[in-house]
């Protein structure tokens, strides 16, 4: 945690020898340093906190490594696959085409 705090302090240009560095970093990031929860809410939240923090998406170091690997690809901003068109767009175009065909047929009929 201290390494992460120091890295963030450097990023937010907070001196590494600053007292209360963790709270200064949290303030720079607009994070809360404590939660004002009722005792009932704390009783409900605390037993599940350890389980929640153990979830894979809560492993910030792994997410950081995954993100670095993703953005190291020079084409990461380009779309890999052309997005599929929604069915509603296809239906609208089909309706326009059939209407256009009907109008053309009406114009050609004497």
Arithmetic mean of pLDDT, 86-98: 57
pLDDT of 103: 52
Q: What is the pLDDT of residue 108?
A: 53
pLDDT at site 10: 92
The verdict on residue 88 lying in a domain is no
Confidence category of residue 24, pLDDT binned at 50, 70, 90: very high
pLDDT the model gives residue 97? 55
Contact present, 45 and 37 (Cβ < 8 Å): yes
| Separation between Cα atoms, residue 79 and residue 95, nearest integer Å | 29
Query: Residue 39 sits in which domain range?
Result: 35-75
State phi, psi for 57 to the nearest 5 degrees. -70, -10
In the predicted model, is pLDDT for residue 52 greater than 60?
A: yes
Pick 7 or 47 by higher pLDDT.
Answer: 7
pLDDT at 71: 82
Which parts of the chain are beta strand (E)?
none
Angle 90-95-96 (CA atoms, 0-180°, nearest 5)?
100
**How many domains in the chain?**
2
Give the chain's mean pLDDT: 77
Report yes or no: 76 and 70 within 8 Å, Cβ to Cβ.
yes
Classify residue 105: in a domain, yes or no. no
Q: Which helix (H) or strand (E) holds 28?
A: helix 21-28
- Shared-domain flag, residues 1 and 20: yes
Q: Which residues contact 9 (CB under 8 A, 6 or more apart)?
A: 15, 16, 18, 21, 24, 25
* Same domain (yes/no): 41, 24: no
Give the per-residue pLDDT at 29: 92
């Amino acid at each position: 945690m201290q390494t992460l705090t120091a890295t963030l302090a450097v990023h937010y240009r907070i001196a590494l020898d600053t007292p209360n560095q963790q709270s200064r970093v949290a303030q720079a990031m607009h994070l809360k340093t404590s939660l004002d929860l009722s005792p009932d809410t704390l009783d409900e939240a605390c037993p599940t906190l350890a389980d929640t923090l153990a979830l894979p998406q809560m492993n910030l170091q792994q997410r950081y490594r995954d993100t670095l690997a993703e953005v190291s690809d020079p084409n990461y901003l380009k779309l890999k696959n052309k997005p599929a068109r929604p069915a509603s767009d296809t239906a609208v175009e089909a309706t326009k085409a059939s209407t256009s065909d009907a109008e053309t047929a009406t114009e050609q009929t004497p």
